[in-house]
Amino acid sequence: MRVATFNVQNLRLRQKEAGPRLDGAWDKDVSHGADDRDALAAADRRLTAEVLRIANADVVALQEVFDRETLDHFHDEALTPAGVAPYPHRFCLPGNDGRGLDVALMSRRAPRRVESHAAETPASLGLPATAECAADARIFRRDCLEAEMAGVTLFVCHFKAPYPDVEASGRIRLLEAQAVAALIRRRFADPAAALWLVLGDLNEPRETPAAGPATAPLVAMDGVDLMLRLPEGERWSFHQPRSAFYSRPDAMIASPALAARFPTARPRIIRAGMEREADRYPGPRLPEVGETRPHASDHALVAVDLSGL
């Protein structure tokens, strides 16, 4: 089984007079003129599809998908024309993001169970309330989507971004990670012996906040950060356009049993769809990729092979 995670940067379906159209891969901090906006959006999403074609993963965890209608349209109108093998099992459940950007899952294998944990609170998980999250408030800024596959259970996450307050957002991410750890303990009688994988955009900033890394509660369960199996200079998966900022927010943290079962499994980071100004990557780009745009996303896709599952 090949498992991938990919933050597709603001994937939203818009209903236009000329018909439905997907938003391109850009944030408000990178503006473009109205004349080329539609053309750039279409090119972005062709590149997003091409990256997924290259990855050819059996299961893909996605972040920043607006809703199920968006996911289905992207699948049918972007992935299929690009020659991507179908993903008949698709999930995008409503989360807590105020803009409506959710986590999603596409799979060629039927999951045994898919469950949203968007409604979890500190009280429901036996965690203490904090200044950032009252006992009855929802913990996850988006969601933690749990997908039980044959052989492994996935926990798909997208943690709080490290702004506007780096320290406060760090405490929120730490609580989100504690919540994921609590979900794992609730699901498995012996978490160390179970086969699970936490994956997604954990939004770790370049500088670790005082609260510590968000991965700490998962590492405390002897979770193995598979990205650490790569050389240090090869771990980055994000570039902020028009800047020199690189980081590795995208993560795959495996249970001790899963890591031991696949001791040589190393993530593959596909950067062929990233903007050319991300010059830390000297490798080949897809032909349509521009200096800043078009691009597939400001994130790279991360995939890992778990052969035999």
What would the pLDDT profile of 111-133 be if each residue is shown by its tens digit? 999 999 999 999 999 999 999 99
The CB density around residue 244, as the number of other CB atoms within 10 Å, is: 10
Least reliable range by pLDDT among 15-24, 68-77, 141-150, 193-202? 15-24
CATH value at residue 295: 3.60.10.10
pLDDT score of 98 more than 60: yes
Give the whole-angstrom CA distance, residue 216 versus residue 119: 23
The CB density around residue 29, as the number of other CB atoms within 10 Å, is: 9
Q: Domain range for residue 182?
A: 2-305
Residue 31, pLDDT score: 53
pLDDT score of 218 more than 80: yes
Give the whole-angstrom CA distance, residue 308 versus residue 142: 32
Least reliable range by pLDDT among 26-40, 61-75, 164-178, 289-303? 26-40
Count of structural domains within the chain: 1
Give the whole-angstrom CA distance, residue 295 versus residue 298: 7
Give percent of the chain above pLDDT 90: 87
Secondary structure (3-state) at 305: strand
Give the mean pLDDT of 226-250.
94
Residue 256, pLDDT score: 98
> What element of type H or E holds 197?
strand 196-201
The DSSP 8-state label assigned to residue 2 in this structure reads E
Give the CA dihedral 27, 32, 33, 34, nearest 10 degrees.
-40
